[in-house]
């Protein structure tokens, strides 16, 4: 009896892994909105079932940080707006909005920017009367895409669900 149960379990496992292999993995589909150009080999978003995983977005527009976001005046606020717009573009491409976001991970190069960051970040939810997602925020030494003249100050990744 135990042998049959093990055989049945092994057969089920084989069929399940075969089905996963046939559809290219776990059924994940890349999400590539216009204007979001990855700076490394990754997808801006990955849709798996009803869950969207948005890669860390940096304040790039057409492959670079806009001048107004690195001119020394309100850079963290400008960069946060750009990042949130980039996240919104990935969500929109997947048929979602910020209301679908359930988790956000925030990376700041200086926690001294935390207040100004939140000044921009918060209204993306509260202005729509949406509940903000769960969130973690950490300080990091540097972020990808930085240059000497235009440092990346913020990166945000999110998880959204239908």
Give the C-alpha separation, 79 to 154, whole Å.
7
Tokens 């490394």 correspond to what residue?
40
pTM for the whole structure: 0.83
Bridge pairing between strands 134-139 and 154-161: unpaired
What DSSP string runs through 80-134?
Answer: HHHHHHHHHHHHHHTT--GGGEEEEEEEES-GGGHHHHHHHHTHHHHTTTPPPPE
Return the pLDDT at 10: 45
- Fold entry, domain 25-161: 60s Ribosomal Protein L30; Chain: A; (3.30.1330)
Return the pLDDT at 161: 98
Return the pLDDT at 26: 82
Return the pLDDT at 57: 98
| Contact call for residues 75 and 152 (beta carbons, < 8 A) | no
List per-residue pLDDT tens for the chain, 162 residues long.
555 544 544 444 443 443 444 455 789 999 999 988 889 999 999 999 999 999 999 999 989 999 999 999 999 999 999 999 999 999 999 999 999 999 999 999 999 999 999 999 999 999 999 999 999 999 999 999 999 999 999 999 999 999
> Residue 22 has which token pair?
């046939």
Work out the number of other CB atoms within 10 angstroms of the CB of residue 7.
Answer: 10
Domain ranges within the chain, ordered by starting residue: 25-161
Return the pLDDT at 37: 85
Dihedral sign, CA of 62, 65, 67, 69? positive
Bridge pairing between strands 154-161 and 51-57: antiparallel
């Amino acid at each position: 009896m135990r042998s049959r149960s093990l055989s049945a379990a092994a057969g089920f496992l084989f069929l399940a892994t075969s089905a996963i292999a046939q559809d290219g993995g776990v059924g994940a589909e890349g999400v590539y909105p216009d204007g979001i150009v990855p700076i490394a080999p990754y997808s801006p978003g990955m849709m798996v079932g009803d869950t969207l995983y948005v890669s860390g977005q940096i304040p790039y527009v057409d492959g670079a940080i806009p001048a107004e976001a690195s001119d020394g005046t309100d850079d963290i606020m400008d960069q946060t707006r750009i990042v949130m717009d980039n996240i919104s573009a990935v969500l929109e491409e997947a048929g979602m909005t910020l209301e679908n976001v359930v988790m956000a991970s925030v990376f700041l190069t200086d926690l001294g920017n935390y207040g100004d960051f939140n000044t921009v970040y918060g209204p993306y939810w509260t202005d729509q009367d949406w509940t903000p997602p769960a969130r973690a925020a950490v300080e990091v030494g540097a972020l990808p895409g930085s240059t000497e003249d235009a440092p990346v100050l913020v990166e945000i990744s999110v998880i959204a669900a239908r």
